[in-house]
Amino acid sequence: MDYSCCELCPNMCKVDRTKGQIGRCGQTSEIRIAWSGLHRGEEPPITGEKGSGMIFFCGCPLHCQYCQNYQISQKGWDGVSLSEDELASLMVELQNFGAASINLVTGTHYIPSIANAIPKAREMGLRLPIVWNSSGYESVPALKMIDPYIDVYLIDVKTLDSCVAGKFCGLERYAKDIVPVMKFLKRRYSVTDLEDPKGPHGVLVRHLVFPGCLTATMDFLQWYADNFKDCCQLSLMVQFVPPLENPGFEKMTQDEYDSLIDALDRLEIDGFVQEMDENEILWIPDFRRDQPFPESFADPLPYFLDLKKGKA
Ligand code: SF4
């Protein structure tokens, strides 16, 4: 599987990205990074003391209307072009900068390059666990290609309801396409232990409750409890940040939140649950800046800023 007839995600565009063609993800085979640095907004076991070592890739095969990274996922922000060797060096520099993990954000459409860069980084001394942080919109053959290099999956399961998927993710079929991905991960990982002293491993499923879609979330929780609660962990997020151009979404009520907590208890699901107002995020990152996030959340990687300056 490579870029010449791209089938890395279920969009199956079959374009030749090596010749500059682009599919729904909007990217050729040239690796483009929007930002890299330490970030302290991830779940505690992979954030550590100083932060998770983030690498945000430009482009995305999904077009979620609420995406906080809209600027880089859909709006065509160019970012910085890197070779596979530079991507490997970036990982090692994140380790030198104090990262607790290497966190690859939306790398789906760059899987062949990332699968080459990680072993190079290991040869250069990279010891950190690798986190695959994605929407789950990979084809199973593409997942098989990257899986040998991944320690922890942070996988979104946005919804199993095609109407909700169409409204919020821009693709009704996402609701069906996520199922084989989760089945693959279940076969691969029988246990998730993010606190293992030998290093975190397994699958952390992230689910964001969409406004007005509590029933779809309850259906998802039942499905998760029936199939995945013994092998995965759940991170339930309740703070939907409305898109800038469409701020008119209702906030979750306390009664709705309480019913979610009751459902988690009833279904005996463990994991992380966001508080209703704790660490409420009211900002959208601006990737045109060297520091797109509030300073308390993130530190840009000097090596990345040097690359950015050198290639400007
Ligand atoms: S990664 Fe997905 S969206 Fe991008 S070209 Fe390949 S099949 Fe299409």
Beta-bridge mates of residue 57:
33
Return d(Cα 7, Cα 23) in angstroms, integer: 10
Q: How far is the CA of 83 from the centre of ligand 1 (A)?
A: 20
pLDDT in tens, the chain (312 residues): 789 999 999 999 999 999 999 999 999 999 999 999 999 877 777 888 899 999 999 999 987 877 777 667 766 667 899 999 999 999 999 999 999 999 999 999 999 999 999 999 999 999 999 999 999 999 999 999 999 999 999 999 999 999 999 988 889 999 999 999 999 999 988 899 988 888 899 999 999 898 888 999 999 999 999 999 999 999 998 877 766 656 666 777 888 889 999 999 999 998 888 777 655 555 677 877 888 888 878 899 999 998 888 765
Nearest atom in ligand 1 to 24's CA: 3
Of 4, 25, 64, 74, best ligand 1 pocket probe by most atoms within 8 Å of the beta carbon: 25
Q: Report the pLDDT value the prediction gives residue 312, as an integer from 0 to 100.
A: 56
The pTM of the full predicted model, rounded to 2 decimals, is 0.91
- Greatest extent of the chain over all pairs of C-alpha atoms, in Å: 55
Q: Is the CATH code 3.20.20.70 the one for domain 24-310?
A: yes
Ligand 1 environment, Cβ below 6 A: 6-9, 11-13, 15, 23-25, 61, 109
Q: How far is the CA of 298 from the centre of ligand 1 (A)?
A: 30
Token pair listed for 255: 């009664």
106 touches 137 (CB < 8 A): no
Q: How big is the chain, counted in residues?
A: 312
298 touches 47 (CB < 8 A): no
Closest CA to ligand 1's atom 1: 109
57 touches 69 (CB < 8 A): no
Beta-bridge mates of residue 189:
none
Q: Which DSSP helix (H) or strand (E) runs through 132?
A: strand 130-134
